[in-house]
Amino acid sequence: MGKGGEQGGDSGEPAAQIRFYTWEEIQKHNLRTDKWLVIERKVYNVTKWANRHPGGQRVISHCAGEDATDAFQAFHINPTLVQKFLKPLLIGELAPGEPSQDRGKNAQAGWLQHDFGHLSVFKKSSWNHIFHKFVIGHLKGASANWWNHRHFQHHAKPNIFKKDPDVNMLHIFVLGDTQPVEYGKKKLKYLPYNHQHEYFFLIFPPLLIPVYFQIQIISTMIRRRFWADLAWAISYYLRYFLTYIPFYGILGSLGLLTFVRFLESHWFVWVTQMNHIPMEIDSEKHRDWLSSQMAATCNIEQSFFNDWFTGHLNFQIEHHLFPTMPRHNFWKVKPLVKSLCAKYGVPYEEKPLGKAFVDIVGSLKKSGDLWLDAYLHK
């Protein structure tokens, strides 16, 4: 049996003989300065390579100490090509007696950029990346790298605290069943969380895009030196103001832009949060790919309106299981996913659009009540 401390060197070069590792050994290497992961039973040391990972170092780091096979296959449209980059990082294999997965722990332009960002339009990744930068930058005024950094983490670890940026609420909201109790026991009261289902309407839908996202996008582009993204974003604002200032003046154009962002933000928040906030939100449980995605995701009933209004993200389950799949194919794979879930007893949740909206508020109220009870009595 291989010794966890004897790796193929920090360089990530494979040893002369095949080394075998147990899950107990592999799971020790999930630190910031020491990252191993497993793909198709092969063990890789990605410690130094993580910073060069095209999808971002955080995405790959979230899988450290785990079986990343399903995530690897889901995120890469050409796994054979990517395998070439893995060869120098190979340090061994799972021991023959170890399971493959550690079961014990076991406008529509917005949707268009989402399609390009998921590499689901063109067969070549490079074409998807080029068009993604154009659509999200020139047509939306945002940053492709910023979007990738956030969104890939969300897909890799949905609804996992400290790994999914979408559930980092900056102490404005408490989510799920465990975080509210932890806040309550520690007597943390940044806001009256028992009223969060009420102030949600004043903070989240109207301010997410025109305020929070705008500040974060601009600061990220400057801080991380995403100069190409910044140039694309500037081209959007130049085009916008050159078009509208002759009609509405400077203040009128600013007002129109803010109002459009305000409306877009309401639509975006309700559509994106209805699939996740009412679901399980917790710390890392090291589940397999199917279980982790199903616990954090639900679907909305299919209809012509729902398909259009949500950009086909009413098929959120299928989108999370197959993130590079073109969205017009979700309905085709849905029966297969439901059949698979039924076979293995995995809950498959689907609800009407109206109920999905109501469940967002209901979930926030439930979490707020849990916080208040823990704050007062524990």
User: What CATH number does the domain containing 58 carry?
Assistant: 3.10.120.10
Say if residue 86 is in the same domain as residue 124: no
Domain boundary among 33, 60, 94: 94
Q: Alpha-carbon distance 177 to 363, whole Å?
A: 9
Backbone angle region of 316, left / alpha / beta, with phi > 0 → left and psi within -120 to 50 → alpha:
alpha
Evaluate whether residue 67 is within a structural domain. Answer: yes
Closest CA to 175 of 204, 151, 207: 204
Say if residue 209 is in the same domain as residue 72: no
Evaluate whether residue 1 is within a structural domain. Answer: no
Q: Alpha-carbon distance 310 to 268, whole Å?
A: 9
Say if residue 187 is in the same domain as residue 265: yes
Evaluate whether residue 11 is within a structural domain. Answer: no
C-alpha separations of 369 from 165, 195, 197, 199, 365 in Å: 24, 9, 10, 14, 6
Helices (H) and strands (E) in the chain, counts: 16, 7
Evaluate whether residue 368 is within a structural domain. Answer: yes
C-alpha separations of 82 from 24, 35, 36, 145 in Å: 27, 18, 17, 20
CB 114 within 8 A of CB 39: no
Domain boundary among 94, 124, 145: 94
Say if residue 84 is in the same domain as residue 124: no
In 222-312, beta strands by DSSP E: 299-300
Evaluate whether residue 149 is within a structural domain. Answer: yes
C-alpha separations of 281 from 113, 141, 164, 284, 324 in Å: 27, 31, 10, 10, 24
Say if residue 38 is in the same domain as residue 187: no
Which pTM value belongs to this model? 0.73
Taken in order 223, 228, 231, 237, the sign of the CA dihedral is negative
Structure tokens given for 152? 């890939």
Tens-digit pLDDT string for the chain (378 aa): 454 444 444 444 444 578 888 888 888 888 888 888 888 888 889 888 787 887 777 777 878 888 888 777 777 667 677 777 788 888 988 888 777 664 433 345 555 666 666 665 666 777 877 888 888 999 899 999 999 889 889 999 999 999 999 999 999 999 999 999 999 999 999 999 999 999 999 999 999 999 999 999 999 999 999 999 999 999 999 999 999 999 999 999 999 999 999 999 999 999 999 999 999 999 999 888 899 999 999 999 999 999 999 999 999 999 999 988 888 899 999 999 999 999 999 999 999 999 999 999 999 999 999 999 999 998
Say if residue 73 is in the same domain as residue 203: no
Determine the pLDDT at residue 65.
82
Say if residue 66 is in the same domain as residue 132: no
Q: Which residues pair with 45 in a beta bridge?
A: 36
CB 352 within 8 A of CB 306: no
Say if residue 120 is in the same domain as residue 85: no
Determine the pLDDT at residue 109.
57
Q: Which residues pair with 43 in a beta bridge?
A: 38, 92
Structure tokens given for 150? 């956030």
Say if residue 66 is in the same domain as residue 211: no
Say if residue 118 is in the same domain as residue 29: no
Determine the pLDDT at residue 149.
87
Segments forming the whole domain that contains residue 86: 20-94
Say if residue 185 is in the same domain as residue 291: yes
The domain total for the chain is 2
Domain boundary among 94, 128, 155: 94
